[in-house]
Amino acid sequence: MSFAFPESSPFRRSDFIFGVATASFQIEGANQEDGRCESIWDRFCATPGKVANGDDGSVACDHYHRWEQDLELIAELGVDAYRLSIAWPRIMPQEGQVNQKGVAFYQRLIAKLNSLGIKPFVTLYHWDLPQYLEDRGGWLNRETAYKFAEFADIMTQALGDDVYSYATFNEPFCSAFLGYRFGDHAPGLKDDKWGFQAAHHLLLAHGLALPKMRENAPKAQHGIVLNFAPAYPADPSNQADVEAADFDEQQGIHWFLQPLVEGTYPEAIRQQQPLWWPTILPGDLAIIQQPIDFLGINYYTRHVIKAGDHGPEHVRLAGVERTDMGWEVCPEAFTHLLTKLNQRYQLPPIYITENGMAGADKLENGQVIDQQRCDYYQSHLDAVAAAMAEGVELKGYFAWSLMDNFEWAFGYDKRFGLVYVDYASQQRVLKQSAKYFQSFLKQRKEG
């Protein structure tokens, strides 16, 4: 039981980094311990009707208490790296106040990873904004960008070069658009213009934080993680569908990547939806467009788009393979995305910082057979290798996720993990997919 890659595969090279990923709110629990303050996700979970089954992150995977055994589990998998995020509410539970207990938790975690020979990849913000900042407007308030830069300064001073790689943000698309535009995520607001304004402030925060981060951790890598779903026209012969798919990518991909690399936002947004254009102050784009050492890309699925009366509309194709999220399995779109971005932009080295799928996993006779996930990883790793063969500079790949966890608005209904979590007992069980990774990485080491 292992992945099958040719002898010449880049994945067989010891310098290609394989890792697993998690996020603080999704696994830690302990939401009222050791001085942590309320986050926007605590508030969102407490709002009736927002999260499936009324689930919340108060216990999650209890990683705050079980972190040592979880890191031993990661070591057992044989991966090179672990991508985690820092809970801002643990670090600054009040404005201007640093909570040393929160800082010490992450210092211990990073020290243990280094002692195990596992490279720490740290994401500073994975969606859990302190609620006191949301009370002042959250990411709609320009001041929050400066507050993030302070937080990034504190954490990179505390962890320094013990961290191999820092990302400012995970998926600003989700923070901005799902949080402030579509209302599906915390804080649950719905306004197109708000979504684009929040996105601008998130990217501004990234730019404001970078100089301090580089100063505090000069040997570490510094970058950002963006999520992309390439768009395909429902009818490629219909010009309206082609244009709708292009617009879907302008707002979902290029709105976030173009300012980072080229210092401009896509004009298509201003031309087609002038009322969505955010307030941008002189100099903002120069702050955003600073060199980054790497770009993290998260990929799960593609969009199929048709022209609707009110803009692009998603089409659900019949007869295609889907995951437990209802997302189409489409590895060839992954290759296409990577090669297209590589042709369009002058990109820094890339890490695939998330890729994976939700399955309706069951623990039976002490094991979890998740063949669909094994096949998903095989086909998507093959897709990555195909992009590398076409000249995309790709340094590593992280499976999402290490273990089943709190899946945001879906609560505990959706399982993405390589490791099965029985939430009642907090027992961890390696799924078949985890054993595939373990077996391949063991072969590679011995090979």
Catalytic positions, please?
A: 171, 354
Distances (CA, A) of 368 to 63, 124, 402: 21, 32, 15
CA gap 168, 379 in Å, rounded: 29
User: CA 366, CA 373: separation in Å to the nearest integer?
Assistant: 18
- State the residue for tokens 């505990």: 412
Pairing of β 165-170 and β 119-125: parallel
Residue whose pair of structure tokens reads 């013990």 in the numeric block: 162
SS3 141: coil
Q: Which residues pair with 119 in a beta bridge?
A: 81
Residue 187, preceding peptide bond in cis (omega within 30° of 0): yes
Bridge partners of residue 427, in order along the sequence:
422
Contacts of 268 (CB under 8 A, 6+ apart): 246, 247, 250
Residue entry with tokens 């909570």: 99
Q: CA-to-CA distance for 422 and 427, rounded, in angstroms?
A: 5
Helices (H), 308-431: 331-344, 371-389
